[in-house]
Structure 1
Amino acid sequence: MAENYYQTLGVDRHASAEEIKKSYRKLARKYHPDVSKEADAEEKMQAINVAYDTLNNPEKKAEYDQMLDNPQGFAGFGQGAQGQGGFDGAHFYRQSTGGGEHADFSGFEDLFGRFGAGFGGSGSRRQQQSFQGEDQHAKIEVDLDVAYTGTTQQITLQIPTYNAHGEPEIQRKTLQVKIPKGMKEGQQIRLSGQGQAGINGGKAGDLYIEIQYKEDKRLYVEGADVYTTIDVSPWEAALGGQVEVNTPAGRLQINLPANAKNGQQLRLKGKGIPNSKEAGNLYLIINIVLPTAQNDQQKQAYQQLAQAFNAYNPRA
């Protein structure tokens, strides 16, 4: 039993228009006569083009689906490419053009005109058909500091592509990527023409690089807001005052409130990730660090502290 157009393109009947297009482009790279080594490349390319020309057209596709669901209703079309007493592709094109008796095979003529007279033409020079390369996607990890300052970073990627013979291969590519400040996690940088190469002079696809921040147990990001942990001593937490801390926004002087608690957050407005509209906020999460008593003097200091707070019971 001859395969139908969906089988020719290797897609399911419920495939989306984008899935049909993607499969067609992949097969076209493999079987295009100008690059393919297959003995029957021209014949296969012709079948692929006919299938795509039908399934890519909503009206033709609807008629074709109706034919598949009711094959006996099309028996009068004669014996054709789809088998004995089945559907003849030539008649399908004649029916779908709406041109009556003078429309015979016009669909095929238009189709092959686009892909060159070499597909069944007599003595005419084949016009080369170009195919645009697929877009590619990659992810890179950067330090959060880059979001504040921007940078130019050299990256090396391994990109899946097709060679001149339509065979899949991995291409190693080193690029200089300019990362502007204000980039949020998940945003993409588009590098025009750096995706999969085109075929027969076709335009190359684009490369989209998604930005991700390196994991850091002391900070996390929500949109343009940045949360980071700062360490303070017990006396700094108790007495408050100015302290200097390292943050993704740089080294900052902050006013620590008296009697600050562990886990308490201090908001620094506009010190989050900068952007063209409004910068995010920087939240400092207080972490009170207890020093270890390593000598008699330090132990005595803790004893004096215990006496000063003899009425305090943290487990009460």
Structure 2
Amino acid sequence: MRHITTFAGLPVVQFEPGVVDRLDAKGTPRSAVAWRIETDYEADEEAFRTVLDRCLDVVGGESVQALVVGQWGEAYDTPPPLHLLIAARLRLPHLRALFLGEMTSEECEISWINHTDVAPLLAAFPGLEVLRIRGADGLQLSPVRHMRLRELAVESGGLSAGVVRGIADSHLPALTDLELWLGVSQYGGDVSVEDLAPVFSGTGVPRLRRLALRNAEIADQVAAALAGAPVVPRLETLDLSLGILSDQGAEALLLGQPLTHLRRLDLSHHFISAELADRLRAELPGVDVDLSDEQEEDDGERYTAVSE
């Protein structure tokens, strides 16, 4: 996993000495990039406070529309200092997109990245439209009411059912894009199809257009549930990539409700046979069906793309 180069439609720029002068010299508006901040992996909370304050002072907090947070210290042991971001909310009046935990596996394995309850963060930034989180160890989302959030994503090697229930119990009327990496039980993934039932019903997310339930060891069960889920007819994109989807799940999708209205069906990183793959393409002629990255079983075992 490499560092991202774009976020929320903006190029990512690492905050460092001289970078603002270089942007100004090019005539690039400071608001036209996503600013990335980080500390050393052994840094403490005060070091993160210093980096954040320095970024807001030099860039100008009013120019920050997107913020990418990398290492904040010992992420494998300590959650991000959300209280410092919350304390800076008045200095970030135009913040629209936030990425928490943008680290490579060399910096911290995804299943080790610590988090905490992000509901207070959402409450502090009512104008936030995009929230992406990498890692889910300790992650919580207490039910929250947020009128502007359009995109919510959690990348994980194992997602807890409590996070899914928190999302289901929240009021997110503007949400159009929900992406959850369900992961595996070995790394805390205990989400069941029953936990996802409120999402499948679509009642709490009336504007949802993209549903991505990725990196799932329960991909076949998810596909079977989606075959009759009320939320599917309103979707433009359905994404079951990175998991262990097999012929069982593919067959369920084909035998279920029509999917011809979809613009895109992403099943990449899969264990589907060539015969079923051909059927999917043939029966969904107007859909962009991604069946790339075909996998093979390893001694009878199937593995998700991301776990530890």
**Fold shared per TM-score above 0.5:** no
Looking at CA atoms only, which structure, 1 or 2, has the larger radius of gyration? 1
TM superposition score category, shorter chain reference? under 0.3
Question: 1 or 2, which has the higher strand percentage?
Answer: 1
